[in-house]
Structure 1
Amino acid sequence: MEEHLKILKSSLIYAFLIVAILWLIRLMESLFGFEFYMYGILPRETQGLIGIFTSPLVHANWEHLIANTIPIFVLLSFLFFFYRMKSAYILPLLWLTAGSITWFIGRLSWHIGASSVIYALASFLVFGGFFSKNIKLMIVSVIVIAAYYGLIFSIFPGAEGISWEGHLSGFLSGLLWAYVFRKHLQNKKDISI
């Protein structure tokens, strides 16, 4: 029990630190008049390649960041808690794969925001739980579905100014890596339960 509390605490701290970085970047933009949109993904353009790494850190405005804050915090906390050490490579793989797919399939405009990572995390947690055949991870899958089922509607073209391509890319990234790691996810020693 004490070990689980320690893992929970570190999971929440890591998730908080990532969210704090997002807020710090947005604060710098607001206070100093910076515009970091050029660190987003500009599909199929060499200047947009940097965005594969940096686009989830940049948000269009405070509303955009606020909308992404709770989902990314919750989903990161789940990843860090339930997948422990695996999260050290799962998160970068999800992040970079979602960005890469967006770079290939996106419309020719700047794609920014943590949504692609949110969709990647949600997709990984849902499919990873089911692929694992582990009842506790399957419960996590059901919780993520219940909390974020509405995300599925944003992976298709819709509202103006929303990167559905980033959402779709994140969804595909999560599905891909959950499938790739399905055998590892079945190993109970590798997960925190």
Structure 2
Amino acid sequence: MSMSPPDVPAPLTRRDRWSIGTTLVLGYLALLYAVELADQWDRHRLDRYGIRPLETDGLWGILFAPLLHAGWQHLNANAGAVLVLGLVGVLAGLGRFLLATAVIWLLGGFGTWLIGDIGSPWHTVHIGASGLIFGWLLFLIVQGFFSRKPGQVLIGAAVFFCYGAVLWGVLPGQPGVSWQGHLCGALAGVFAAFALSGRSRTA
């Protein structure tokens, strides 16, 4: 008795990957606004689920902090960068960008948990998508340096030209702004670019 081979799903086309990636970026953006609406309704009590440095319970904030914002102004300030850098990341390669996002989300969040109280006279709670944004920014800027792919180098140059000035945000300065989260997100983005370009470096 012969058996027919199992059906092998067709590989995703570039259009399919773009469609999936765009949906994920827009879905994340919509989720941010839905969470902020719920937070407003709950009198900002959701914000306590951000990253609380060096507290065991504060580790849960690594998962939740990039979904929380301190009001509409904070969210609106991040929304444009989420949209632009998210779509550029999808254009640069969906699978690699999703892996980079996971690395930045977790590693950047853990770094913020470790150093989040440095330079602050009081105990802080870190919330917002800006750590993820800084991670995306550095990932897109440096990935071409590690992979040696001309297309990624051009994307990195364009991103640096448009957003390079915000990199000053990794330094202490404006009160109430999590430079620690920015710094850790940026370092996680560089690490993700290095780790995910391993095959290209050894080719």
What TM-score do the two structures reach when normalised by structure 2? 0.85
What CA RMSD, in Å, does the superposition of the two structures yield over aligned residues?
1.9
1:35–1:184 Cα change, 3 Å: farther
Question: Is 2:140 aligned against 1:130?
Answer: no
Please list, as runs of the form range in 1=range in 2, the aligned pairs for 1:62-73 lying within 5 A after superposition.
Answer: 62-73=72-83
- Structure 1 consecutive aligned stretches of length 4 or more whose deviation exceeds 6 Å: none
Say which structure is richer in helix: 1
Asked whether the equivalents of residues 96 and 196 of structure 2 are also in contact (C-alpha less than 8 Å), the reply is no
Alignment equivalent of 2:50, drawn from 40, 59, 78: 40
Alignment equivalent of 2:105, drawn from 95, 111, 114: 95
Asked whether the equivalents of residues 100 and 193 of structure 2 are also in contact (C-alpha less than 8 Å), the reply is no
Tell me the residue number matched to 2:176. 161
Alignment equivalent of 2:90, drawn from 80, 87, 90: 80
SS at match of 2:124: coil
Q: Aligned partners of 2:79, 2:202: CA distance in 1, in Å?
A: 31
Question: Is 2:152 aligned against 1:142?
Answer: no
Asked whether the equivalents of residues 99 and 169 of structure 1 are also in contact (C-alpha less than 8 Å), the reply is yes
Q: Which runs of 5+ in 1 are unaligned?
A: 189-193
Larger Rg: 2
Q: Aligned partners of 1:19, 1:122: CA distance in 2, in Å?
A: 17
Tell me the residue number matched to 1:174. 189
Code of the aligned partner of 2:196: F
Tell me the residue number matched to 2:5. none
Identity of matched residues, %: 31
What TM-score do the two structures reach when normalised by structure 1? 0.90
Count of aligned pairs = 187
